[in-house]
Amino acid sequence: MKYNQEIYEKAEQELLQRRTIANNTQKEHEKEIECSFPYIYELFKKNKNSVANAFAFLGANSKQERKQGLNNWKQQRANTEKEMRQELVKRGYPANYLDVNYTCPKCEDNGYKESYMCDCLKELLNLYLSQEINQKSSIKLRDFEDFNLKYYSDEEDSYKLGVSIKEHMQEVFKQCKTYAEDMATKGTSKSLVFCGETGLGKTFLSACIAKRVLESGKTVIFNSCENIMGEIETENFSSNSDKQYVESVINCDLLIIDDLGVEFKSPFSQSALYNIINSRINKEKPTIISTNYAITKIQKNYGDRLASRLQGEYKWLRFVGEDIRSKKKKK
Ligand SMILES: [Zn+2]
């Protein structure tokens, strides 16, 4: 995937800051131990200074001597290190208190290991890219705490749910919260369809999930179907585009497509939508789609292929009740 220069620079800045914090923290710890526990500090120094000694063996006469010397040196270092760590723990410090503790030990916060880009840098680039994309989103982020069940009736109504509308929506709310938590902590979840009439909280709960998952550092793209399709169409018909947008939509950790059905439908947008949904299923990346359409209407408007993907691979959550917006106005 291609990223613009600005995103690269932002990621480099973040990595530099991580390295600086890790190094400064280590220096502070070193000073502290030097003052309070000179014996531990001596052990630390001994190993730090012994790096230069390793070269001494390279000048030895035989291969055997070089090997033996190097092994002894390694053993001594390991013993000193072990003792230093044990002493630290004895004094109530973590064993790694005198190490430089990088956010990513794999690349030591450099972003590259040998000549390969490290996953931590890829994650940062994707995070900044999705932030840039979401700035243009029409959906505002929300908090689960602000979801109010009082707008849902205690009656069973005509839905034949077996429970009241409120009880049903309480269960939907619970599932959304668990979903967001699973995504934030484990990074995997099933794909969902939020179906039901307008004004029953589909967008609100999507925006709560988006917020929680974004806060965990994962990449989330959330927008109305209309805007997503518009962006893809613009990108597709622009001559100098690198298809960055559609790639982000396909590859982000969680994609939220709000209000499927109201967008302008063309053969291009229909095949683009199918491609996104299908690619994400193949990559095992979850998507949340909200729609007023029932499955039969999706089938009619988007074709059998898409309908069967949504039926087979997505979990459907039904939103019920009376339009919350009109209820709020009545009060
Ligand atoms: Zn890394």
- Domain at 174, CATH number: 3.40.50.300
Per-residue pLDDT at 257 exceeds 70: yes
C-alpha–C-alpha distance, residues 284 and 306, integer Å: 16
Is the distance from CB of 274 to CB of 301 less than 8 angstroms? no
Task: Count the neighbouring beta carbons within 10 Å of the beta carbon of residue 1.
Answer: 13
Question: Rounded to the nearest 5 degrees, what angle is found at the Cα of 318, between the Cα atoms of 231 and 213?
Answer: 50
- Retrieve residue 37's tokens: 């526990």
Q: 121-142: buried (b, 16+ CB within 10 Å) or exposed (e) per residue?
A: bebbbbbbbbebbbeebebebb
Tokens 């200074």, located at residue: 49
Query: Is 18 domain-assigned?
Result: yes
Per-residue pLDDT at 157 exceeds 70: no
DSSP secondary structure code for residue 140 in this structure: P
Query: Is 253 domain-assigned?
Result: yes
Q: What is the mean pLDDT of residues 249-253?
A: 93
Is the distance from CB of 287 to CB of 306 less than 8 angstroms? no
Shared domain check, 52 and 113 = yes
Query: Is 201 domain-assigned?
Result: yes
Shared domain check, 146 and 227 = yes
Out of 49-53, 95-99, 280-284, pick the least confident: 49-53
Domain that holds residue 156: 136-330
- Confidence band, pLDDT 50/70/90 cuts, at residue 175: very high
d(CA 145, ligand 1 centre) in Å: 35
Residues, Cβ < 5 Å to ion ligand 1: 104, 106-107, 118, 120
Query: Is 109 domain-assigned?
Result: yes
- Maximal C-alpha separation, the chain: 94
d(CA 106, ligand 1 centre) in Å: 5
pLDDT of residue 132: 81
Shared domain check, 159 and 272 = yes
**Per-residue CA distances from 159 to 44, 77, 164, 205 (Å):** 71, 72, 9, 21
- Confidence band, pLDDT 50/70/90 cuts, at residue 1: low
pLDDT of residue 329: 62
Shared domain check, 285 and 250 = yes
pTM for the whole thing?
Answer: 0.72
Shared domain check, 294 and 234 = yes
Q: What is the mean pLDDT of residues 142-166?
A: 83
pLDDT of residue 242: 75
- Retrieve residue 215's tokens: 């806060």
pLDDT of residue 188: 76
C-alpha–C-alpha distance, residues 150 and 200, integer Å: 12
Last residue of a domain, one of 74, 90, 120: 120
Shared domain check, 101 and 168 = no
Secondary structure (DSSP) of 95-117:
TTTTS---S-TTTTTSSEETTEE
Per-residue pLDDT at 122 exceeds 80: yes
270-313 pLDDT per residue, tens: 899 999 999 999 999 999 999 999 999 999 998 999 999 999 99
Query: Is 131 domain-assigned?
Result: no
- 3-class DSSP state of 125: helix
Shared domain check, 171 and 87 = no
Out of 142-146, 238-242, 278-282, 302-306, pick the least confident: 238-242
d(CA 33, ligand 1 centre) in Å: 28
Shared domain check, 178 and 62 = no
* Count of domains observed in the chain: 2
Mean pLDDT, the chain, as a whole number? Answer: 89
Out of 183-192, 193-202, 249-258, pick the least confident: 183-192
C-alpha–C-alpha distance, residues 314 and 158, integer Å: 25
d(CA 136, ligand 1 centre) in Å: 29
- Retrieve residue 216's tokens: 């965990």
pLDDT of residue 60: 66
Residue % of the chain over a pLDDT of 70: 94
Shared domain check, 167 and 57 = no
Shared domain check, 109 and 52 = yes
Q: What is the mean pLDDT of residues 88-114?
A: 95
Shared domain check, 140 and 116 = no
Query: Is 129 domain-assigned?
Result: no
Query: Is 302 domain-assigned?
Result: yes
Q: What is the mean pLDDT of residues 167-177?
A: 94
Per-residue pLDDT at 258 exceeds 80: yes
d(CA 112, ligand 1 centre) in Å: 7
d(CA 221, ligand 1 centre) in Å: 24
Last residue of a domain, one of 92, 120, 148: 120
Per-residue pLDDT at 174 exceeds 90: yes
Which residues are bridge partners to 317 per DSSP?
A: 194
Shared domain check, 115 and 262 = no
Query: Is 126 domain-assigned?
Result: no
Last residue of a domain, one of 120, 145, 163: 120
